């Protein structure tokens, strides 16, 4: 019997796959493209020991860190966090099957991380208690290297709370952002912004030899507002990190849905509610093969 020309063959959709030339991660093309958007809006549930981790005001959602780690590594690769806090990066690495090492100056935060692991039945990652300025050279001397570095460092020295003194207590601020520890070596406890940015520069310069050539560094930074002036911490910190050899490759604006706003300045002057944070992406040089290709291409263009 002749086939009915009106009949159409069913469309068979192939499952998404990882490009054979993808050496960076294990994501499909659509997953790759989604990550490259310059704005990331999230609404993560409060899980994985959130009640414990929230004791540190600047803790980051493990799901956010998982999202970042999955783009810049393949399963089984290694991640370093020189400002580990209560372990958001370490937990994120565990969620996606990566190995991680965290350095933290405050033993209280490491203790909380370990309690979270015990509570959630998660195998703990490697933790090193100490000043990263001292620990990072020790890792380099031991020949340690990592595939990716992801961290959430202090954003500034401890600032006076000029707008959180009870006037807007309807917002129920529950964390103390003034000071994370009493250790004099804690970057938050430095006396001036100049000292703080110098310390940030030294710390990230020390991470440079620990990262594989062509590897990436992701740094979460929040700007601030103090003394009637906007402080672009992202710009200042990024500039200092580049001095250590890294190349700034891009910036993602991260907004956690539901961030509270307060009527600063109302009804007289403009004062921003800083509800976003920036994820600055850096790279360590570039593979020699790509560098040669770029030089050859540049040479060809000059000869045209």
Report H helices in the chain. 29-35, 50-53, 62-72, 88-95, 107-120, 132-141, 193-207, 233-243, 288-302
Q: Which residue has the tokens 């570095």?
A: 149
Q: Contact 286/216 with Cβ under 8 angstroms?
A: no
Between the two ends of the chain, the Cα-to-Cα distance in Å is 64
CA distance 13 to 16: 9
Cβ atoms of 132 and 200 closer than 8 Å: no
d(CA 291, CA 297): 10
What value, to the nearest 5°, has the Cα angle with vertex 101 and ends 97 and 105?
Answer: 145
For the structural domain made of 29-302, what CATH number should be given?
3.40.50.150
- Residue 265, pLDDT > 60, answer yes
Render 281-304 in DSSP notation, one character per residue.
EEEES--HHHHHHHHHHHHHHHT-
Contacts of 45 (CB under 8 A, 6+ apart): none
pLDDT, the chain, mean: 88
99-104 sheet: strands from edge to edge: 39-42, 246-256, 276-284, 211-221, 146-151, 78-81, 99-104, 126-129
Crossing angle between the packed helical segments 193-207 and 233-243, to the nearest 10 degrees: 40
161 against 43, higher pLDDT: 43
Residue 21 has pLDDT above 80, yes or no: yes
- Ordered by start, the domain boundaries in the chain are 29-302
Q: What is the tens place of the pLDDT at every residue in 4-18? A: 666 677 766 677 889
Nearest to 182 by CA among 108, 115, 110, 111: 108
pTM of the model as a whole:
0.86
User: pLDDT tens, 191-235?
Assistant: 788 899 999 999 999 999 999 999 999 999 999 998 899 999 999
Q: Is 196 exposed, middle or buried (0-12, 13-18, 19+ CB in 10 A)?
A: buried
């Amino acid at each position: 019997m002749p086939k009915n020309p009106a009949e159409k063959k069913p469309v068979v959709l192939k499952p998404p796959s990882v490009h054979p030339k993808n050496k960076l991660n294990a994501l499909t093309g659509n997953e790759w493209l989604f990550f490259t958007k310059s704005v990331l809006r999230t609404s993560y549930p409060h899980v994985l020991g959130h009640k414990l981790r929230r004791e540190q005001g600047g803790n980051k959602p493990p799901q956010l860190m998982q999202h970042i780690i999955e783009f810049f590594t393949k399963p089984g690769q290694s991640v370093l966090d020189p400002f580990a806090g209560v372990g958001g990066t370490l937990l994120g690495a565990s969620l996606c099957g990566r190995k991680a090492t965290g350095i933290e100056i405050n033993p209280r935060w490491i203790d909380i991380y370990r309690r979270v692991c015990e509570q959630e039945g998660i195998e703990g990652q490697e933790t090193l208690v100490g000043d990263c300025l001292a620990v990072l050279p020790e890792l380099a001397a031991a020949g340690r290297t990592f595939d990716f570095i992801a961290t959430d460092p202090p954003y500034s020295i401890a600032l006076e709370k000029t707008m959180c003194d009870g006037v807007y207590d309807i917002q129920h601020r529950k964390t103390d952002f003034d000071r994370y520890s009493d250790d004099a070596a804690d970057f938050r406890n430095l006396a001036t912004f100049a000292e703080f940015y110098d310390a940030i520069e030294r710390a990230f310069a020390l991470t440079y030899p620990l990262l594989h050539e062509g590897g990436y560094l992701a740094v979460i930074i929040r700007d601030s507002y103090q003394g009637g002036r906007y402080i672009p911490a992202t710009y200042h910190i990024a500039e200092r990190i580049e001095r250590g050899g890294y190349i700034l490759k891009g910036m993602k604006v991260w907004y956690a849905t539901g961030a509270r706003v307060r009527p600063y300045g109302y009804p007289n002057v403009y004062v921003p509610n800083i509800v976003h944070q920036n994820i600055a992406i850096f790279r360590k040089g570039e593979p020699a093969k790509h560098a040669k290709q770029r030089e050859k291409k540049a040479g060809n263009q000059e000869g045209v």
